[in-house]
Every structure is written in structure tokens, then in C-alpha cells.
Amino acid sequence: MTGLFSISQGHSVLPVVLPLLAAFLMQPLGRVARPLALLLGPATLALSAYLLIRLWLAYGDAPYALAIGGFAPPLGITFYVDRLALLFATAVPVLTLLFWSRGEDDADPLRRDAVMLLLAAAATGLALSGDLFNIYVFYELVAVASFGLVTLRATGAAYIATVRYLLLSALGSVLALVGIAIVYLQTGTLSLAQLAMLAPDALQNPLGLAPFALLLIGFGVKAELFPVNTWVPEVYATAPTRISALLAGLVSKLAVIVVVRLLVLAFDGTGATQLMLALGALGFVTGELAAWRARDLNRMLAYSSIGQLGLVFVGFSLGGTAGMLAGLALVLHHLIIKSALFALATRWRGALARLTGAARSAPVSAGLVVLFALSLIGVPPLPGFWAKLLLVLGLVELSTPLALGALALVLLGSAVEANYLFRLVVRLYARPDDASTPALPKPKLLDFGVASAAGVLLLAATVSVVPVSGWLRGVADQAADRAAYIDTVFPTTLVQSGAR
Amino acid sequence: MSAMGPDSLSFVVVMYVGAFGLLVIGAIGMVMSNHLFRMVLALVIAEAGANLLLVLSGWRDGALAPILGTHAADVPMVDPVPQVLVLTAIVIGVGVQALAVSVLLKIHRIYGTLDVRALRRHLELDICRDAGMAPEGSREAPAGERPLPPPIPVADALRTAATDQTGATS
């Protein structure tokens, strides 16, 4: 399968299938040819990324749907591929490859690689799937794979953090399952496209808010949503830092995308958006306040990631293309910055006090931290500013009491965020206490490269803010278009609309 | 659900109350319990409730199990889709529970307890030790933050650098 083969729409299943296949082949291949098995994971992911980029180039203009196994949509499972799905599906193999775990633990590399591939396959499926129960299954696969990865350091603390994460996640899954059962009771279907057709009659009423709330809390566990995020600091402080980077940067975003798809297609009533707005704003302010108190780098980044995801939920709750644009800008911004900060934290993990004067031994890394901090706070020319500006403008335009309250919380949280990030920056450039603090190890070349690439990407986006926002608006337009989703999955919708 | 006798109606009501009852018992058990293994058991109960609810969503009055070839074609069947879904959900649930119990075994081997309060203290201490800092509120790290030393003025830095060099040469 090398060289330039012609790409077709059917290839969009391969980024899910190939990593799964490779994960199962890993052990038998390891018995026969171990070096080959060690190469299998990165090679599969590289191939997936290549396929997705080809698909983006060939079919990025119009969304298309794929009936898995040839079973027609309402009964069979569909993959819905639009720019939003392709964007996040491409991010999965790329980021998994960048954070391919090496040397942070002494687990058997083949087992670890297999679990990483499972995570990549399930996460890609989460981005592409157009069937509620299929999404649930992929979500559970992501969950189980992440439990395995979090325990990689095999310390007692990691096991405690994992089991608490597992129990909360399982409770969330039960709630999501109840939500799915209620949706099925009310509509008799689980295909997202058919749900979108039936939603105006069946789901957009007070009874429809119940399944949305259950699904929001259920999928919100991975998305670090406000009341169900207690696992985040514990897990990010005890897991290998690269795994934390993947969970914070990538997996949380895919859970958000699932919730957003559900919101746009089936639950576009006001109650659902208000719930998301309230939980998001509370998550932002509580996350930032907790980060302000954190004394070690990993937990500071963890709490800050809770805060940023709260902001993302506020963005998506604005509704319409404007809300989608604000949310997507925040999602991508956080995806890049938090991945890069965790990449730097691979060697800088531990107490913040250790970082005093780190700028002397690692000037470029410290400079990158300053850049990321400024963008997170939202200092004008940087992309973070534009993302936050879109959010604030959307909230002002909404100007309901709830939106204005959320606006106040967002501004308050940003002030807190500025305070602790500037404190971190000042610490990096402060005079080291005395000779007692040992010199910090420099980040590994790969991690340093990831962080630098993120910095360059951020600066490039700063310079070319107009084309980037235009491109993002295109993605947002497509993702917010419910009619297009229905038409794509059911091309003969006029015949089918009276089906039930 | 048109022609429904009083018997089947009360049957459905009992089943729904049972499903939500199991869910509530499980959820309360998970939140209120202080022992990890009891939390896992509560999770099992909650999952049973969710699975029952899922099966109920496909239930039809007087219908048979959806198995081809066991009865005449004109006899009504219950909706087969939720039955397929619930099979998947049960398998996933069992897998997650098995994983949870295996991690519990490791925890018990390391710490000798499954009490949540004790384990949370262990977790905090371990994270602090791993990070190389004293636990919060201990004598080494009382609440609040110490001020940072001021940055070095440029003139001072240049002077010390110069004296360092002269010191090295002389």
C-alpha cells in the first residue's frame, strides 16, 4: 500500500480499522520479529495521517456519508465526514505520533504501543461516527485505553488516580447509556441524521433536556466538564506527562466535539445551551481558581486545562455559526498550547519552586512558555486574544442575565489566569535561590521540537489571522449546518421525512 | 402500545420503577461509599439499572423474543435493536469492572487498604513527594507563598560576571 494510489471515500474507514488491526497484530508479530512490531505503531499512524490528509485534499469541500458494511443509514451505522470530522480525525494520528510514549516508564513497549493504537483508533472513530450508540462504544474504548495508559508508571499513586478516574468515568458512561435509552424511547432511532430529522417534534421539549443533560454529564467526564472533572489533577499529576498531554490536548477535545454534534443536530433548544453555558462558566472560574493555588506544574496545567475547556463549552453554547466559530477557535488554540506546555513539562514536572531561574539554563523553552502564557491570557496580537474576543462578543450579543453572569465569570477567571501565569513567568526569570537548586534537565529534542513547532504555528496564525479565521469560518459553517447533515446521510430526504 | 391490559401496564410500571430504582441505588452507593470495592459493587448495580432501561425501551405488549425461526412469522416481536445494544453494553461493563478489580488488587497490595479517605491522603503525599515538595500545611510548606527573590539588576550581574572573570584570571 505504498506510492500514489487513488483515494476514494471508502478509505475514510481505514484510519479507524488500521490501528485496531495493528493493535491486535502487535503481540503475535512481537513473537516473530520484535523490531518490526516496534515499528508497526508509528508506521500505522503515519499511514492514517497520510490517508486523512489525502481525503481532506480530495473531498474537503463537501461533506459525505459512508454506510458501514453497506447497511443503509437508519439501521446501519454511518460515518459522517465533513471538515470538522476530518480536522479532528487528522489531529488524532498526528498528535499520537508526536506524543508516542518512549522512555518515561519501564512498561513493555509492545503492550503500551497496542494500547496507544487502540486509543488512536477509537478517538478517530469518535470524530467520524454518525451513530449515537457507535459513539458510545468508541467513547468506552477511548476510556479503557486511557485507563491502561494512565497506569503506565506503575506507582501506587497512579493506581489510586486511575481507579478514581475509572469509577467516575464508568458512572458517566452509565448516565450516558440512560440518556441513550431515553433518546431511543422518544424517537426510536439512534442515527444522528434521523435524530436531527425527528428532533423538532420529539426532543426539543422539556423531556428532551433530560437525555441531553445525561449525555452532557456522561461525555463530559472526558471533556473535563465542571462537576465531573475531579479526576483531572490526580491523573495528570501521576500519569506519564506525554499521556497527560494526549488526554488534555486531544481526547478531551473529541468528547467536546461529540457533545457539540449532539447539540447542533438534536438538542438545539434553549435549555440545552443554557445548561452548557452555566456549567462551562463555572468550570472556567473554578479551574482557574484551583490553578492559582497549585504548587506543581502538572496540576497547574491540569486545572488550567479544566478552565480552558469550560471556556470552550461557553463558546459552543452561544449557538449558530458564531458560537461554532468561537468554540472551534478556542478548541484549536487550547489543543496546540496545552499539548506544547505538557511537552515542555516532560522534564519540568514537579514543584513550581524548582523552576526558579529556569530561563538561564533553557532560554528558548522559557521564551516559549512566555509566548503560550500570553496567548492563553489573551494578549492582543496572539490567536488567544481573537478566540476570547469572539467569545466575549457573543456573550455581549446574547445579553441574557445568564450570559452576562457568564461574561463576568469569564473576565474574573481571565484575571486570575493572568495572575498565576505571570507568576510562573516571573519565577522562570527570577534569580535562583542559591546553589541548592540543581540545574533543570533540558526537554528532550522531540518534546522541545513539538513545543517549538507549536510556537511557530501560533506566531504564523498571529500573522495570518485573516485567512485562518476565514478557513475556520468555513469549517464552522459546515459543522453548524443541520440540513446539510440530513441531506448528506439521506439523499432522498423528501421521501423519508414522513417516515415516522 | 395501543391495547394494553391492566396486568401488562402494571408490569411496565414496575419494571421502569425497578430500573430507575437500581440506577438511583447504584449512583447513591458510588457517591456515599468510602470503600473502593463497595463503589465497584454500586457501579454494577447502576449498570444493571441502565441495561434494564435499555431493554425496556424496545418492549412491546405481548410480543416474543426476536429470534428467527422459533415462532410463526405473524407473531409480534419486541424491538431487536435495544437487545443488541444491551449485549454490547453488558460486555463493556464487565470489561471495565474486571479492570477496576484488577487495579484494586494492586492498590491493596501496595497500601494495604481500600478506604477512600486513607487512599486520598496517600495520593496527595505521593504526588507531593514525586513533585519534590512538602505536603501542603506541613511545617516545611505552611499555607501561602513565599516571596521570590528580586531579579538581578543588569549592572550587578555585569559586575559579578566581571569579578568572576578577573578572579578566574588572577
Cβ contact A166–B27 (<8 Å): no
Cβ contact A354–B111 (<8 Å): no
pLDDT at A204 over 80: no
> Which A-chain residues 33-92 have CB contacts (< 8 A) with chain B?
75
Quick one: pLDDT at residue B169? Answer: 45
Across A212-216, A326-330, A438-442, B48-52, least confident range? A438-442
pLDDT in tens, A138-197: 999 999 999 988 888 888 889 999 999 999 999 999 999 999 998 888 888 888 888 888
Q: If pLDDT is split at 50, 70 and 90, which confidence band does B106 have?
A: very high
**A202 CA: distance to closest CA in chain B (Å):** 15
pLDDT at A491 over 70: yes
Q: Are A206 and A222 in contact (CB under 8 A)?
A: no
pLDDT at A401 over 50: yes
Cβ contact A184–B107 (<8 Å): no
Among B24, B30, B34, B99, the strongest candidate for a mutation testing the A interface, having the largest count of A CBs within 10 A, is: B99
User: A140: which chain B residues are within 8 Å (Cβ-Cβ)?
Assistant: 92, 96
Phi, psi of A459 (to 5 degrees): -65, -40
Among A77, A147, A159, the strongest candidate for a mutation testing the B interface, having the largest count of B CBs within 10 A, is: A159
Q: Is A157 in CB contact (< 8 Å) with chain B?
A: yes
Q: Is A350 in CB contact (< 8 Å) with chain B?
A: yes
Q: Are A491 and A63 in contact (CB under 8 A)?
A: no
Quick one: pLDDT at residue A475? Answer: 87
Q: Number of A:B CB contacts under 8 A?
A: 145
Quick one: pLDDT at residue A139? Answer: 93
Q: If pLDDT is split at 50, 70 and 90, which confidence band does A500 have?
A: very low
Mean pLDDT, range A376-401, rounded to an integer: 88
What pTM value is reported for the model? Answer: 0.88
Nearest neighbour of B151 by CB, restricted to A144, A170, A431: A431
pLDDT in tens, A276-335: 999 999 999 999 999 988 888 888 999 999 999 999 999 999 888 888 999 999 999 999
Q: If pLDDT is split at 50, 70 and 90, which confidence band does A496 have?
A: very low
Cβ contact A234–B123 (<8 Å): yes
Quick one: pLDDT at residue B168? Answer: 47
What ipTM was reported for this prediction? 0.84
Q: Are A473 and A390 in contact (CB under 8 A)?
A: no
Contacting residues for A379 by C-beta, under 8 A, at least 6 apart: A385
User: B58: which chain A residues are within 8 Å (Cβ-Cβ)?
Assistant: 184
Domains and CATH numbers, chain B: 6-141 (1.10.287.3510)
Q: Is A144 in CB contact (< 8 Å) with chain B?
A: yes
Cβ contact A166–B26 (<8 Å): no
Nearest neighbour of B43 by CB, restricted to A75, A162, A170: A170
Quick one: pLDDT at residue A281? Answer: 92
What are the sequence ranges of the domains in chain A?
13-268, 270-492
Quick one: pLDDT at residue A362? Answer: 80
User: A350: which chain B residues are within 8 Å (Cβ-Cβ)?
Assistant: 130-133
